[in-house]
Amino acid sequence: MPFNKIRQVNEREPEPDFIREAGEMIAAGGIVAFPTKNLYGLGADAFNPDAVAKIFSIKQRPPQMPLLILIKHRSELDRVVLKIPPVAEFIMDRFWPGGITLIFEAKAELPPNLTAKSGKIGVRLPAHPVAAALAEAAANPITGTSANISGEPGCSRVAELAGTVGNSVDLILDAGPLPPGIGSSVIDVTAEPFRFLREGSVSAEHLHAALNNR
DSSP string, 160-210: GS-HHHHHH-SEEEE--PPPP----EEEETTSSS-EEEE--SS-HHHHHHH
Q: Where do the domains of the chain lie?
A: 3-212
pLDDT tens digits, 109-139: 999 999 999 999 999 999 999 999 999 999 9
Q: Is the pLDDT of residue 213 over 90?
A: no
Question: Could you write out the DSSP letters of every residue in 58-85?
Answer: HHT--TTS---EE-SSGGGHHHHBS---
pLDDT at residue number 1? 60
Q: How far apart are CA 188 and CA 191, in angstroms?
A: 6
Instruction: Report residue 34: phi and psi, to 5°.
Output: -150, 155
Q: Which of 105, 102, 114 is nearest to 66 (CA)?
A: 114
Q: Grade residue 181 by pLDDT with cuts at 50, 70 and 90.
A: confident
pLDDT at residue number 134? 98
pLDDT tens digits, 31-72: 999 999 999 999 999 999 999 999 999 999 999 999 999 999
pLDDT at residue number 35? 97
Q: Please, are residues 210 and 203 in contact by the beta-carbon 8 Å criterion?
A: no
* Average pLDDT score over residue span 10-26: 97
How do beta strands 171-174 and 32-35 pair?
parallel
Q: Grade residue 195 by pLDDT with cuts at 50, 70 and 90.
A: very high
Q: Is the pLDDT of residue 2 over 80?
A: no
Class of 3-212 in CATH: alpha beta
Q: Which residue has the higher pLDDT, 111 or 212?
A: 111
DSSP state at residue 23? H
